[in-house]
DNA sequence: GATATGACTAGAC
DNA sequence: GGTCTAGCCATAT
């Protein structure tokens, strides 16, 4: 069933789109919300696929420590940080400062 | 079809 | 308490 695979991506994209402005989440959180909690990496791939879609705020998704691990996949060197700061997220040295405060858990919020 | 890789995470040492 | 290893699942070669 190839539909399932695409459905997984679709869900990841959906959740990413639901992330409120000024909030961030982690790959594992999305993976857990989708049921595949062990597949945080796959969420990263989904984000990679979502990278082509400007409607998906991939910059709001970081790793579990609030580090902009995916910033290398964005254009330039600090585009991801710029986007986050533009939304009011405090980022320093490619790491979200008040990560715990702005952390958005889809499993709880949704 | 098998192997390698990756935007991760949790556990072990 | 910091570093390393293994597990996870989908994509790419």
Sole residue written with tokens 């597949």: A39
Indicate the pLDDT class of residue A1, thresholds 50, 70 and 90. very low
pLDDT in tens, A43-102: 999 999 898 888 999 999 999 999 999 999 999 889 999 999 999 999 998 999 999 999
Angle at A27 between CA A96 and CA A10, to 5 degrees: 130
User: Is there contact between A79 and strand B, defined as CB under 7 Å from any strand atom?
Assistant: no
Integer distance in angstroms from CA A46 to C1' B6? 11
- Give the separation between CA A25 and CA A64, rounded to whole angstroms: 8
Beta carbon of A53 within 7 Å of strand B?
Answer: no
Kindly indicate whether the domain formed by A2-109 is annotated with CATH number 1.10.10.10. yes
Contacting residues for A57 by C-beta, under 8 A, at least 6 apart:
A16, A17, A19, A83
Residue A2 has pLDDT above 60, yes or no: no
Q: Where are the domains of chain A?
A: 2-109
The protein residue nearest C10 (Cα–C1') is: A42
């Amino acid at each position: 069933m190839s539909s399932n695979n695409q459905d997984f991506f679709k869900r990841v994209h959906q959740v990413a789109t639901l992330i409120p402005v000024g909030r961030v989440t982690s790959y594992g959180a999305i993976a857990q919300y989708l049921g595949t909690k062990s597949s945080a990496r796959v969420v990263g791939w989904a984000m990679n696929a979502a990278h082509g879609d400007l409607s998906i705020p991939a910059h709001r998704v970081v790793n579990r420590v609030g580090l902009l691990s995916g910033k290398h996949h964005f254009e330039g060197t600090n585009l991801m940080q710029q986007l986050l700061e533009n939304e009011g997220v405090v980022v320093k040295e490619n790491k979200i400062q008040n990560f715990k405060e702005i952390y958005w858990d889809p499993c709880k919020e949704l």
